Amino acid sequence: MERKRFMEPFLIFGLGNPGREYERTRHNIGFIALDKLSIEWKIDISRFRYKSLVGEGKFAGNRIFLVKPQTYMNNSGNSVRSFMRFYKLEPTRLLVIHDDLDLPFGSIRLREEGGSAGQRGMQSIISKIGTDDFARLRIGIGRPPGRMDPMDYVLKKFSHNSETDLDLVLNTVVRSIEVMLKDGIEKAMTLYNHSVLQDE
């Protein structure tokens, strides 16, 4: 049974919006995190399947799929549902990475389950697969300054000044997922659910 579990795909979805105008924006940090995983694990995300860009590889004995839905954020659930149905996967074989306005920039939160926290991509996924019992990794982007509209804020690109800090966050994201796959989500939560920048 244990061998079968490792042979089953493990799906890692990063949420974002397709198109050059959305590249490196706060709302696309799920895509940015997958790009980092792609580099670290040498998995090329270039195939197109189920309206998504997909890369397939291996890590820690797991067959890994890195997936970027190309349907725009609000319809991310269509892609997740298609992959899970095709491979007949349980929700335990799914991790979703997305931005979170309510977490300060520099913080990450890994959870085994939970609601959408108002994130529309997550709302779509929960609605389409009929459960919220799957892992998610929230990457904090902080609240907009002053009276800036939250929608304008999430669609702004990361500033040049924040790129170094962003690299530190992404490195921690990769490490947390590696620990999750090797040693389980509880250990990863204990080690990495904190402010990356504060601890540096």
Residues annotated as catalytic (active site), given as ranges:
27
Tokens 């994201």 belong to 173
Element (DSSP H or E) covering residue 14: strand 9-14
Q: Give which of 138, 86, 85 is closest to 112, Cα–Cα.
A: 138
- Token pair 């995983």: residue: 37
In this structure, what token pair is assigned to residue 42? 């040498």
C-alpha dihedral (152, 199, 14, 61), degrees to nearest 10: 180
Phi, psi dihedrals of residue 147, rounded to the nearest 5°: -105, 20
Dist CA 35 CA 21 (whole Å)? 17
The amino acid sitting at 19 is G
